[in-house]
Amino acid sequence: MLPNAMSGAVGSAVSAPVPDEAVAPLMRGITVLRRLTEADGALSLSGLEKATGLARSTVDRITATLARMGYVRLDGRDAVLAPRLMELGNAYLASIRLPRLLDAYADALADEFDESVSLAVGDRDGIRFIHQATRRRAMSLSFRIGDLLPAERTAPGPLFATEWDAADWARWRARREADPEARGFPAVPPRGGAYDDFEARTAEAGARGWALDDQLIEPGLVAVSVPVREPRTGRVACVANVVSHTSRHTAESLGSALLPRLRVAVAEMEAELKRDRGPRVASGPYGSGAGSAPSGLAAWTSASKQELGREFIESLARGLTVITSFGEGRAELTLTDVAQATGLARATARRALITLEHLGYVESYDRVFRLTPRVLGLGFPPLSMLPLSRIAAPHLAELSERVHDSASLAILTGGGEEVQYTARVATSRVMSVNITLGTRLPAYATSLGRVMLADLPEPRLPELLPLTPHTITDRRELLALLERVRSDGYALVDGELEEGLRSIAVPVRDGGGRVVAAVNVAMHSSRRSVEQCVAEVLPELRAVVGRIEAELRVAGRFRRVPGV
């Protein structure tokens, strides 16, 4: 039997006894991830010890295992969630297919309304957002993808509750009695007061087919929601939700002004679901999704165990790997499917699935398993807000430490004429490159700018001014140089921006192969020759950018990464 500290591992949702075959290390590891998520992505190791009730030695072993998986970064005495952890939530989002099919409709609606539009799915007696199209305002929606909100304090909640059975309502009443201020939902401010009208609002939402939130989340926030239904089952697949502020709309005017167009958009979404032939899971079965999956996802765990010994918890790593066996085309998997996808023995996969089902991350019926929205609670909300600069920062620090020179990340701005520094790690030297965040420099004379300009079909070049005697100012010569940069995959600039300044840069590409930023190493020319920069620095630079791109692909799969 597991320690008492584990009984509350997933909050009030778990009331059944822990199955005898449950994997205790997996439960403990998930507890650590949940506590890190609740702490907005970072917590000291001693803080984790206190928050989880686990022994410090256990916390150390769990975080070491998660760090080996790339899910956590150990920064001194702190454990910090890493973007790669988002592959767990991505597995859920890919399996339901709804973001890929419906995100564009929500984005277009947000542009048309000039209001925030979201898509939400039900999670027992709460809701979670799976997509957000927000407006940039001083007062705007701040909920994140994966945030859990109490159903009774949202517009989507009554629409999902129209499909609740007696057990669902009993669970909701028990939770309300135990937590009347919804303190178990960190994404919303605690708020007292009765919500005894929730059943009446649910009945009203069922009768009219839409629902309002009149400042239930917090004063000033109003919303209107319409359900998007599965074409085959008629059940609620997700809910489209439009949010505004009372400075722009009352709840009534929001409904009267925007509801007709919202209903048209929802009809378009439902038509898209009807056209789609791929496997999908929402509120009910939608066919088997046991498509192709790369086998042997857990094969590396044995090697990690041999290398790290006791510090690597193999059963935790293998249990989390089971989550990643799901995805697009693999929405519903049998035990055999999971074992084949991960390379695990059936008995090992079975115990992991039993544990995940007990914790509410997997549900089963007719001998098939599928992920639940609860998977989004494993790090997705804080990680979904990370800009590219924060994704790159630890990698820049690693690069700077390895080459003993300054490393920077920049984007193209000013209509493509300038680079702007968005992340930087400087070295401590008597003579070093002194550039601050936000600095803008002419793109044509920098290594950062040239690798980004080289990706453009028609780079915009301003008047080429001679910043030093070495600056290339001939337009045709520069265009020919950009062709070589495109072919070589890097740019080296020697004394063209400033005498004595030498830098080498490589591009950062998103999941679609588009150059979205660049990373460089800059130094005084006395530090290394041009040949040494290419031979010594370029391989390190490319390796680090490869790791940034890998995390960017995970982080940007179902959301737009700020700064890209």
Q: What is the pLDDT of residues 360-372, one digit of tens each?
A: 999 999 999 999 9
User: What CA–CA distances, in Å, run from 190 to 122, 186, 217, 306, 380?
Assistant: 20, 8, 9, 47, 22
Q: Which two tokens stand for residue 93?
A: 């989002």
State the pLDDT at residue 141. Answer: 53
CATH number, domain of 39, equals 1.10.10.10
* Same domain assignment for residues 299 and 186: no
Nearest to 371 by CA among 443, 280, 251, 242: 280
* Same domain assignment for residues 118 and 76: no
Boundaries of domain holding 337: 4-83+290-383
* pLDDT band (50, 70, 90) for residue 254: confident
Is 282 part of any domain?
Answer: no
CATH number, domain of 224, equals 3.30.450.40
**Dist CA 147 CA 268 (whole Å):** 26
State the pLDDT at residue 11. Answer: 41
Query: Could you read off the pLDDT of 90-107 as tens digits, one per residue?
Result: 999 999 999 999 999 999
Query: Could you read off the pLDDT of 307-360 as tens digits, one per residue?
Result: 778 888 999 999 999 999 999 999 999 999 999 999 999 999 999 999 999 999
User: What CA–CA distances, in Å, run from 218 to 122, 141, 230, 275, 315?
Assistant: 20, 11, 31, 38, 42
* Same domain assignment for residues 109 and 213: yes
**Dist CA 131 CA 92 (whole Å):** 13
Query: Could you read off the pLDDT of 9-67 as tens digits, one per residue?
Result: 334 444 679 999 999 999 999 999 999 999 999 999 999 999 999 999 999 999 999 99
Stated as kind and residue range, the H or E segment containing 422 is strand 418-425
29: amino acid identity, one letter: G
* Same domain assignment for residues 329 and 422: no
* Same domain assignment for residues 488 and 531: yes
* pLDDT band (50, 70, 90) for residue 291: very low
The proportion of the chain whose per-residue pLDDT surpasses 70, expressed as a percent, equals: 90
Is 93 part of any domain?
Answer: no
Q: Which residue reads 């048209």 in tokens?
A: 264
The strand pairing partners of 503, in sequence order, are 493, 522
* 241-253 average pLDDT score: 88
Q: 275, 306, 338: which is the final residue of a domain?
A: 275
Contact in structure between 230 and 283 (CB atoms under 8 Å): yes
pLDDT at residue 294 greater than cutoff 70: no
What SS3 class is residue 560? Answer: coil
State the pLDDT at residue 267. Answer: 97
**Dist CA 281 CA 484 (whole Å):** 48
User: What CA–CA distances, in Å, run from 273 to 106, 189, 253, 504?
Assistant: 14, 35, 30, 48
Q: Which two tokens stand for residue 497?
A: 């921006």
What backbone torsions phi and psi does residue 432 show, to the nearest 5 degrees? Answer: -140, 170
pLDDT at residue 293 greater than cutoff 60: no
State the pLDDT at residue 139. Answer: 47
Query: Could you read off the pLDDT of 505-557 as tens digits, one per residue?
Result: 999 999 999 999 999 999 999 999 999 999 999 999 999 999 999 999 999 99
Stated as kind and residue range, the H or E segment containing 121 is strand 116-123
Query: Could you read off the pLDDT of 412-428 as tens digits, one per residue?
Result: 998 889 999 999 998 86
* 227-254 average pLDDT score: 92
* Tally of domains within the chain: 3
Q: 505-523 as b/e, with b when 16 or more CB fall inside 10 Å? A: bbbbbbeeeebbbbbbbbb
Query: Could you read off the pLDDT of 121-163 as tens digits, one per residue?
Result: 999 999 999 999 887 654 455 678 999 999 999 999 999 999 9
Q: 225, 245, 275: which is the final residue of a domain?
A: 275
Is 199 part of any domain?
Answer: yes
Q: Can you spell out the DSSP letters for 216-234?
A: SSSTTEEEEEEEEEPTTT-
* Same domain assignment for residues 37 and 57: yes
State the pLDDT at residue 300. Answer: 73
* Same domain assignment for residues 294 and 349: yes
Q: Work out the mean pLDDT of the chain and round it to a whole number.
A: 89
Q: Can you spell out the DSSP letters for 2-71?
A: --GGGTTTTGGG--SPPPTT--HHHHHHHHHHHHHHHTTTEEEHHHHHHHH---HHHHHHHHHHHHHHTS
Neighbouring C-alpha atoms within 13 Å toward the C-beta of 420 = 12
Where is pLDDT greater, at 39 or 194?
Answer: 39
State the pLDDT at residue 509. Answer: 97
Is 563 part of any domain?
Answer: no
Q: Which two tokens stand for residue 439?
A: 């600095």
Write down the pTM of the prediction: 0.90
Where is pLDDT greater, at 286 or 112?
Answer: 112
- Provide the Cα torsion 383, 41, 39, 139; round to 10°: -40
* Same domain assignment for residues 392 and 373: no
Is 113 part of any domain?
Answer: yes
* pLDDT band (50, 70, 90) for residue 497: very high
* Same domain assignment for residues 48 and 108: no
* Same domain assignment for residues 361 and 402: no
State the pLDDT at residue 375. Answer: 98
Is 462 part of any domain?
Answer: yes
Q: What is the DSSP letter of 321?
A: H
State the pLDDT at residue 253. Answer: 87
Q: 356, 383, 410: which is the final residue of a domain?
A: 383
- Provide the Cα torsion 264, 266, 267, 273; round to 10°: 150
Is 548 part of any domain?
Answer: yes
Is 225 part of any domain?
Answer: yes
* Same domain assignment for residues 551 and 434: yes
**Dist CA 503 CA 491 (whole Å):** 8
* Same domain assignment for residues 379 and 392: no
Q: Which two tokens stand for residue 90?
A: 């991505």
